[in-house]
Amino acid sequence: MGRSEAAARPEAAVSDAGPAAGLYLPSPATIQEVRLETGAADVRTFKVTLDGQEIGKDFIYRPGQCAMVSVFGVGEVMLSLSSSPTWTTHLEFSVKNAGKVTSTMHGLAPGARLGVRGPLGNWFPYESLQGKDLLFVGGGIGLAPLRSLINYVIDNRDRYGKVEIIYGARSPQDLCFKSEIFETWPKAPDTEVFVTVDRGDADWKGKEGFVPAYLEELAPSPVGKVAVICGPPIMIKFVLQGLEKLGYSDEQVITTLEMRMKCGVGKCGRCNIGHKYVCVDGPVFNLAQLRALKGEFV
Amino acid sequence: MAEKLVTSEGLFTMVEKLLGRAQVTAPREENGIAVFGPVNSAGQVELDGPLPVIPEKSVVFPQSETLLRMDLGGEVPKVEAVEPEGEQVILGVRPCGLQAFARLDRVFLEGAFVDPQYRRRRDHTLIIALTCPTVKRSCFCRAFGYGPSDGSGADLQLTRLPGGSFHLETLTERGGEFVAEMEKEGIAGLTDAGAEAGSAARAEKARVERLAERSAAAVSTEGVVEGLDGMYDDPYWAQLAERCISCGICTYLCPTCHCFDICEKARGPEAERYRCWDTCLFSNYTLMAGGANPRPTVRERLRNRLYHKLNFFNHRYGEFLCVGCGRCVEHCPTNIDIRKVMAKAAARSRAQGVSVNG
Amino acid sequence: MSEAIKTAAPVEGEPMPAELKTAEIPTRRGPAPGDPEFLGALRDCCRSLLAEGHVQRIIAYRETPDSLRPEVAFFASPEETGDLVWDLFCNTNICKYLLDYRTFEGRIGVVVKGCDARGVVQLINDMQIPRDKVEIIGICCPGQIDPAKVESAAGEAWVSRVVAGPDSVEIVTEEGTEMRVPLESVLTDRCLSCRKPNPPVADVVFGEDQKGRISDEVFEQIAELERMSSAERDAFWNRHFERCIRCFACRNVCPACSCTKCVFDQQEPDWLAGERNQANQHFFQITRAVHVSGRCTGCEECDRVCPVGIPLRLMNKKLWKDVKDLFDSPLPGTKLGVRSPLVMWDPKDADSFE
Amino acid sequence: MPVNESAAAEAEMMTEAEMTTDGASGAGADAGTGTWEPRIVAFCCNWCSYAGADLAGTSRKQYPANIRIVRVPCSGRINPQYILRAFQRGADGVMVAGCHPGDCHYTTGNYYTRRRFSVVQRFLEYVGLHPDRFSGHWISGSEGEKFVQTAREFTEKVRSLGPNEKMRDVL
């Protein structure tokens, strides 16, 4: 995987202005590879390059950011970038087949053209997280945005403390990013991965049970640590309770939100939580920020 | 700036001249209803009617407009952004409409992301305001710190004088250029306003401002934001929602509601991406692929709208997103009245004040 | 219903409920609107229904500071009924709220005018709510007043209150001035041509049967449209449909629009695109009108709420005229136990197939 | 006159989703050739009218290629929305065809169709669609000849009217 110094320090060149002239005009992109993530084939990861643009130079993003991805003639969806900014050869989007655009995407093969508008939104506070221990809690496809930060941390391993990853899915078939959760990440220095499934199958030798229960069992200490979580609403709800019980303060818990989006730039109005727009003020919020907002989330 | 006097016939001629060079939008009557809409003859313009039901915003934020045009026939899709074309004039904008433009400007033009469609339309729209000829009971502009004669934000302002002529004030350079152009064309009935016309206009403005005083007594914004800060989970919203039929009248008639949907239209190898008005009162608005909906019932949706008008926008931009035009008050099929929501919030704020102090 | 009309053979497992077969005859009658006793009697009636547990909720109207615009209110206890009101400004058709009570455990009382009552009956006939769950408190309606017409009659002055007499109304302004205008000049458009102001079915009725106002104006307008050329009709409807802002108020108030998931809200396939062009406006307007044909009770609530003045009645009444001509069935909502003529057939039906 | 013997054979039962895309109306026919040809959508019931069209094809009777058949299980399945959609996506005329009264495969489906059709036909005319652009026909499985005749006559009627603009929603 190609890595450059510039990309490793995205803060060096990033501009907050975003795409100015054609606010709604996507950059042309091409699918290079499609990777099946789950047994049920409902999640695929798309390796995408931007035509005529260099990632890390023309397209600079930070872990946790999103982009609007167009399937021309069908529509546009907001997707989180599941790749790490340290990778400069391509972007990755891990997509669950849920609606019209994503189901069309699932039918696309390498070589197919897409449009990408972004990067959009804020990011995980990777600068202020430096020196801290990190606890990642993910469920199902919710690991996608976390994966960007996990790989970023692993690629800048010396700047961060201990990394613990708790990840769960409904079944072994539904686990995403298998090569990373079972091989790459456990092998990284000072990194532990705990995988659980709601219900195993005949071949499953690992842990069974829900993520919040596993969290309680592992009881990671909050000292010097920040928890970064993402998953289905019901999991988030109980993980938040679990973290509170373990003594995590609201400032120590970071999550990334999902809302229906259309413009991605704070105009169309639908992704508000209180007076904040998830597309421009989020998707990343810490729990203290969320509690201060009026609105419907989780 | 300059003050002119123009007869009804002079204004008629001016509109006729304008029609040749710009898209003119003005109040007109359709089946007994006043609406802002495109006109193609000066005779359609109806300046003496009531506040038009369809608000001014469609001039800078049309009900639907194309964003992208796509040719998908080739190996590489050809995609281009579509820019609005031409010049526009909007005639007869009421002071509440001017206030609404100022709010929309903040949404579409402020910050890092400037909306190109809105920018283009806004820059190419000449705004001719009209001093409100009368003030309805549903009007509550005074609550928001302006009145029915306030022309700020317009290029020109018309005031109907008792004799039937109009007092025409130029408020911006662009307005001045327009008047100069009209003078060069030699519009009969367009003359410099003498002292008499000037004072008649001031008297007319004072008259409608006095009419608006009546609403000032009834509606106030004091404590509204603070009151709402503390009543998000109040049972009040469920009570209000029980009555709400979840239609889009209040949002679509609202001069500041700006939410939109982006849709795709594909016909064979060609496609368009367009945006169109949308409303947070429809259940589909926040419905995500996969079926989750963070605002599943009318309670959450109605609350979101009222908060956006009276609280959220204040926290984001420091002002109300309601301008007190009264369209939603007048046209709600079940008589949900935003002024009552304001009063409720203000009362809550006062109660909170009491409990904090005592 | 004519003898010639046969309903389709009842579908197995879906018989018409027995209680629908006969219209109920009201047994109680109260004073008429306009009678000084009326409001007290209506409140007493509602209070005792709640107090005695006959109903657990009453949907009616409540006074507001703006006397021209009373609000729909939901009364859950006898104590709340003190500000229940019924006057000539109760324009809102409240029958549609019954759909919010489909899963409500208990009975619901509704205070209804003739037009609203037809909506209630239609909802019962469409099996949206069982008859025995609804207590119909009917009012023989002398006609409702359009607040906009009153305000326009008062000019610049603000209206404080309106006192209605049998033929004229007195408008009192905030400044204390009084003016008297003919009742017909301020009645809503729909009331000016209302032929059925009395609730066809009710458990209790206030007032004696009203005659209504027989006017053929709407049907004359329809006939005029029918005489036009295709191109003229095309232009007529284009002009009106162009104004549609797609607020769906016409659908949301309609007692015949009772689908749990409306085709216009369906996202996949997306039958109605968001783009406001004539094609989509036509799709919306025609589909809505056709979908309620045969079940539209002619209450014209859609026409009343349309903020941009699309003459929806000219569509609904045209469809009703054709349905009546073709299949000779009663006005929907006027009789219990009647199915929509469009879910029935007769071998002798008119045949326009070639 | 171009012929399309296999049009019926190629017609497939469509899902609602497919009907809302381009396919239903065959938009784009004759584009660029300079000569305008009417596009006609015929909703045919599977058991009678479609069989009639099929019979016309197999017995090598020619009917105009302007006709695009959408096969439906029963004429009773034809939602008025389908008719509107066909006009939206470029149809110049729409035909509805089903079994003769009394012959419905599902016993009574076409009786319902007949009522609904009568109402919709009058209403479309009322909102300004030319009455000759929309018609209904009873065509049995053995009436291949009637199908051909009907298709020809209808096509010629629509041809004489020129392209339909009412409700058309093309780019």
Query: Cβ distance B135 to B148 under 8 Å?
Result: yes
The predicted-structure confidence for B102-119, as pLDDT tens digits, reads as follows 999 999 999 889 999 999
**Number of A:C CB contacts under 8 A?**
3
- Contacts with A100 from chain C: Cβ below 8 Å: 267-268
Mean pLDDT of A192-220: 93
Task: Please check whether residues B156 and B305 belong to one and the same domain.
Answer: no
Cβ–Cβ contact B270 with D under 8 A: yes
Phi-psi label, residue D8: left if phi above 0, alpha if psi -120 to 50, beta otherwise: alpha
The per-residue pLDDT for C9 is 40
CATH number, domain with residue A192: 3.40.50.80
Query: Cβ distance B275 to B261 under 8 Å?
Result: yes
Task: Please check whether residues A251 and A138 belong to one and the same domain.
Answer: yes
Which neighbouring-strand residues pair with B128?
B91, B156
In the block, tokens 């023309």 appear at A58
In terms of Cβ atoms closer than 10 Å to its own Cβ (0-12, 13-18, 19+), residue A58 is: exposed
Chains adjacent to D (≥3 CB pairs closer than 8 angstroms)? B, C
The per-residue pLDDT for C329 is 86
Task: Please check whether residues B231 and B209 belong to one and the same domain.
Answer: no
Angle at B201 between CA B195 and CA B203, to 5 degrees: 100
Query: Cβ distance C7 to C15 under 8 Å?
Result: no
AA letter at A54: E
Distance CA A75, CA A56 (A): 26
Among all residues of chain C, which has the CA nearest to that of B287?
Answer: C267
Residues in chain C: 354
Distance CA B39, CA B25 (A): 6
Task: Please check whether residues B330 and B348 belong to one and the same domain.
Answer: yes
Boundary (domain end) residue, out of A79, A98, A120: A120
Helix/strand/coil for B265: strand
Task: Please check whether residues B297 and B191 belong to one and the same domain.
Answer: no
- Contacts with C268 from chain A: Cβ below 8 Å: 99-100
Q: Mean of the per-residue pLDDT values for chain B?
A: 92
The predicted-structure confidence for D84-137, as pLDDT tens digits, reads as follows 999 999 999 999 999 999 999 999 999 999 999 999 999 999 999 999 999 999
Which neighbouring-strand residues pair with A191?
A163
Q: Under CATH, to which class is D7-25+36-161 assigned?
A: alpha beta
Residue C220 in tokens: 């004359």
Cβ neighbour number for residue C319 with a 10 Å cutoff = 22
- Contacts with B259 from chain A: Cβ below 8 Å: 268-270
Cβ–Cβ contact D18 with B under 8 A: no
Task: Please check whether residues B63 and B91 belong to one and the same domain.
Answer: yes
Smallest CA–CA distance, residue A223 to chain B, in Å, is 33
Domains held by chain A: number: 2
Would you say residue C335 has pLDDT above 80? yes
CATH number, domain with residue A108: 2.40.30.10
Would you say residue C178 has pLDDT above 70? yes
Least CB–CB distance from D128: residue in C234, C271, C349: C234
Name every residue whose Cβ is closer than 8 Å to that of residue B83 and which is 6 or more positions away in sequence.
B116, B117, B120
Would you say residue B333 has pLDDT above 90? yes
Task: Please check whether residues B315 and B167 belong to one and the same domain.
Answer: no
The predicted-structure confidence for C45-62, as pLDDT tens digits, reads as follows 999 999 999 999 999 999
Query: Cβ distance C308 to C245 under 8 Å?
Result: yes
Q: Mean of the per-residue pLDDT values for chain D?
A: 85
What is residue C8's DSSP assignment? P
Name every residue whose Cβ is closer than 8 Å to that of residue A84 and which is 6 or more positions away in sequence.
A63, A147, A148, A149, A150, A151, A152, A155
The per-residue pLDDT for B289 is 83
Smallest CA–CA distance, residue B268 to chain D, in Å, is 7
Confidence of residue B354 (pLDDT cuts 50, 70, 90): low
Would you say residue D12 has pLDDT above 60? no
Distance CA A66, CA A91 (A): 11
Cα–Cα distances (Å) from C354 to B30, D63, D114, D138, in that order, read: 40, 18, 11, 6
Residue A255 in tokens: 């999550």
Q: Which range marks the domain in which residue B153 is found?
A: 3-216
Task: Please check whether residues A232 and A172 belong to one and the same domain.
Answer: yes
- Contacts with B278 from chain A: Cβ below 8 Å: 262, 268-270
The domain locations on chain D are: 7-25+36-161
The per-residue pLDDT for C104 is 94
The per-residue pLDDT for A233 is 85
Domains held by chain B: number: 2
The per-residue pLDDT for A297 is 61
Confidence of residue C7 (pLDDT cuts 50, 70, 90): very low
Boundary (domain end) residue, out of B216, B235, B266: B216
Confidence of residue C22 (pLDDT cuts 50, 70, 90): very low
Task: Please check whether residues A180 and A224 belong to one and the same domain.
Answer: yes
Task: Please check whether residues B144 and B27 belong to one and the same domain.
Answer: yes
Residue A164 in tokens: 């613990």
The predicted-structure confidence for B201-238, as pLDDT tens digits, reads as follows 999 999 999 989 887 778 899 999 999 999 999 999 99
Query: Cβ distance C283 to D167 under 8 Å?
Result: yes
Task: Please check whether residues B14 and B129 belong to one and the same domain.
Answer: yes
The domain locations on chain C are: 18-143+195-206, 147-186, 217-343
The per-residue pLDDT for C124 is 96
Query: Cβ distance C144 to C191 under 8 Å?
Result: yes
Percent of chain C whose predicted confidence (pLDDT) is above 90: 72
- Contacts with B287 from chain A: Cβ below 8 Å: 260
Query: Cβ distance C183 to C168 under 8 Å?
Result: yes
The per-residue pLDDT for C27 is 63
In terms of Cβ atoms closer than 10 Å to its own Cβ (0-12, 13-18, 19+), residue B86 is: exposed
The per-residue pLDDT for A8 is 39
In a domain, A272, yes or no: no
* Cβ contact B335–C72 (<8 Å): yes
In terms of Cβ atoms closer than 10 Å to its own Cβ (0-12, 13-18, 19+), residue C185 is: middle
Whether the predicted model's global pTM rises above the 0.80 cut: yes
Task: Please check whether residues B232 and B303 belong to one and the same domain.
Answer: yes
Percent of chain B whose predicted confidence (pLDDT) is above 90: 82
Name every residue whose Cβ is closer than 8 Å to that of residue B289 and which is 6 or more positions away in sequence.
A77, A98, A99, A100, A101, A102
Cβ–Cβ contact D22 with B under 8 A: yes
Among all residues of chain D, which has the CA nearest to that of C241?
Answer: D127
In chain C, how long is the greatest CA-to-CA distance?
69
- Contacts with C152 from chain B: Cβ below 8 Å: 50
In the block, tokens 């409303």 appear at B279
Cβ–Cβ contact C268 with A under 8 A: yes
Which neighbouring-strand residues pair with B341?
none
Cβ–Cβ contact C14 with A under 8 A: no
* Cβ contact B242–C100 (<8 Å): yes
- Contacts with D89 from chain B: Cβ below 8 Å: 267
In terms of Cβ atoms closer than 10 Å to its own Cβ (0-12, 13-18, 19+), residue C165 is: exposed
Q: Which range marks the domain in which residue A25 is found?
A: 5-120
Distance CA C146, CA C168 (A): 14
Cβ–Cβ contact B268 with D under 8 A: yes
Confidence of residue A258 (pLDDT cuts 50, 70, 90): confident
Would you say residue C127 has pLDDT above 70? yes
Helix axes C312-327, C217-227, angle to 10 degrees: 90
* Cβ contact D130–C230 (<8 Å): yes
The predicted-structure confidence for D52-69, as pLDDT tens digits, reads as follows 999 998 998 999 999 999
Would you say residue D40 has pLDDT above 70? yes
Cα–Cα distances (Å) from D36 to C267, D31, D32, D162, D163, in that order, read: 34, 8, 9, 8, 8
* Cβ contact C234–D126 (<8 Å): no
The predicted-structure confidence for B62-86, as pLDDT tens digits, reads as follows 999 999 999 999 889 999 999 999 9
Task: Please check whether residues B187 and B271 belong to one and the same domain.
Answer: no
Pairing of strands B190-192, B23-30: unpaired
The predicted-structure confidence for C189-220, as pLDDT tens digits, reads as follows 999 989 899 999 999 999 988 888 878 889 99
Distance CA B22, CA B88 (A): 5
